């Protein structure tokens, strides 16, 4: 950040602290925001040939924005990534304009590049069941096999993110019929827990060599510490290799599968939004596209063209 003026550097740091404290942004999100906005400010320094203090930064023009976007695209950045970077810059400018009292129109009016959103890639229902049946075969240690089955069952059966499943504490077990989950942005939601998920967790706790402690992670690693999500990703990699599943069959794909299979069964989109903890319904609506694609595939296979 050597190309950024001290005033802009301090402003960026203050904004990032606010994003973490007030909006509950994750460390990964904060790191991405820092890099995106810092790169933008560094470009403006090079573009104008001098460090840009808060005054010059407030006077950025439409042509400045076009120059930044053109330079960024020329480095091989995809339209999707550029859209993400622009979103971070706009968020920073909204905050900075309110604090410094200037009009950020040039930045906020910049149009995001168009790109095709990637659809979630869920597993078919029979494939999801095969995954659950195969996970326990990945370890010869009974308690570890039971642990992995419990985690994967929570991902598919409750639609949890892997961070949410591994964030459960000893005090959360035995799992209730309805679990209170704190997800992204400290957003709380209530998630029904299927009997199969409760049974899987109970079996793991019965076999686990470490005592259940209220303030310690529910899912333990071999040495008793918090279970590393990389281990679950590794288990899924082994399972998809055995079952011949695509690389998209990741732990997060089980969450996609949860949503898609609910929708296929006639689930209400608003209810699914609440279960997943999506802030926006538009995020959940991507599953309707997946469901439509599935129906069209079935149609094409059952009604082949003459």
Residues 93, 134 within the same domain? no
Residue numbers of the domain that contains 130: 125-302
- Is 57 in contact with 3 (CB distance < 8 Å)? no
Indicate which residue of 147, 203, 256, 278 is catalytic.
278
Indicate which residue of 147, 161, 203, 261 is catalytic.
161
Residues 37, 180 within the same domain? no
Indicate which residue of 20, 216, 252, 294 is catalytic.
252
Please check whether residue 247 lies inside any domain of the structure.
yes
Residues 289, 192 within the same domain? yes
Rounded Cα distance between 224 and 112, Å, is 47
- 184 tagged catalytic: yes
CATH of the domain at 38: 1.10.150
Indicate which residue of 33, 93, 204, 287 is catalytic.
287
Beta-strand (E) ranges in the chain? 178-182, 188-192
- 299 tagged catalytic: no
Please check whether residue 30 lies inside any domain of the structure.
yes
Q: Say how many Å lie between the first and final Cα of the chain, rounded.
A: 63
Number of domains in the chain: 2
Domain boundary among 54, 80, 108: 108
Please check whether residue 116 lies inside any domain of the structure.
no
Rounded Cα distance between 52 and 35, Å, is 17
| Nearest Cα to Cα of residue 278 among 305, 296, 306, 255 | 255
Helices and strands, counts by H and E, the chain = 15, 2
Domain boundary among 60, 81, 108: 108
Residues 262, 130 within the same domain? yes
Residues 155, 11 within the same domain? no
| pLDDT tens by residue, the chain, 306 residues | 557 888 888 999 999 988 887 766 778 888 999 999 999 998 988 888 766 678 888 888 999 999 999 999 898 888 888 888 999 999 999 999 998 889 988 899 998 887 555 545 667 778 888 988 999 999 999 999 999 999 999 988 888 888 889 999 999 999 998 888 887 767 778 888 888 989 999 999 999 999 999 999 999 999 999 999 999 999 999 998 999 988 878 888 888 787 776 666 555 556 556 555 544 545 444 544 444 444 445 435 544 554
Please check whether residue 62 lies inside any domain of the structure.
yes
Please check whether residue 136 lies inside any domain of the structure.
yes
- 305 tagged catalytic: no
- 287 tagged catalytic: yes
Rounded Cα distance between 41 and 251, Å, is 36
- 252 tagged catalytic: yes
Please check whether residue 267 lies inside any domain of the structure.
yes
């Amino acid at each position: 950040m050597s190309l950024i003026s001290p005033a802009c550097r301090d402003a960026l740091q203050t904004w990032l602290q606010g994003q973490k404290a007030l909006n509950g942004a994750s460390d990964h999100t904060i790191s991405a925001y820092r890099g995106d906005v810092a790169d933008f400010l560094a470009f403006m320094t090079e573009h104008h040939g001098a460090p840009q203090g808060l005054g010059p930064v407030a006077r950025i023009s439409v042509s400045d924005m076009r120059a930044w976007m053109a330079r960024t695209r020329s480095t091989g950045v995809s339209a999707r990534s550029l859209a993400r970077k622009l979103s971070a810059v706009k968020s920073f400018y909204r905050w900075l304009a309110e604090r410094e009292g200037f009009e950020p129109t040039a930045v906020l009016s910049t149009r995001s590049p168009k790109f095709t959103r990637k659809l979630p890639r869920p597993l078919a229902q029979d494939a999801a069941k095969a995954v659950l049946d195969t996970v326990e075969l990945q370890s010869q240690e009974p308690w570890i096999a039971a642990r992995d089955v419990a985690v994967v069952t929570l991902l598919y059966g409750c639609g949890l993110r892997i961070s949410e499943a591994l964030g459960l504490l000893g005090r959360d077990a035995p799992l209730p019929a309805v679990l209170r989950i704190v997800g992204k942005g400290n957003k709380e939601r209530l998630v029904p827990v299927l009997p199969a998920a409760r049974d899987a967790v109970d079996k793991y706790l019965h076999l686990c060599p470490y005592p259940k402690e209220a303030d310690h992670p529910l899912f333990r690693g071999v040495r008793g510490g918090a279970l590393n999500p990389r281990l679950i990703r590794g288990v899924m990699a082994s399972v998809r290799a055995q079952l011949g599943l695509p690389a998209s069959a990741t732990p997060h794909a089980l969450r996609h599968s949860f949503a898609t299979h609910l929708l296929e069964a006639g689930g209400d989109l608003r209810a699914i939004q609440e279960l997943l903890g999506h802030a926006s319904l538009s995020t959940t609506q991507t599953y309707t596209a997946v469901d439509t694609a599935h129906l069209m595939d079935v149609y094409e296979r059952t009604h082949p063209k003459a």
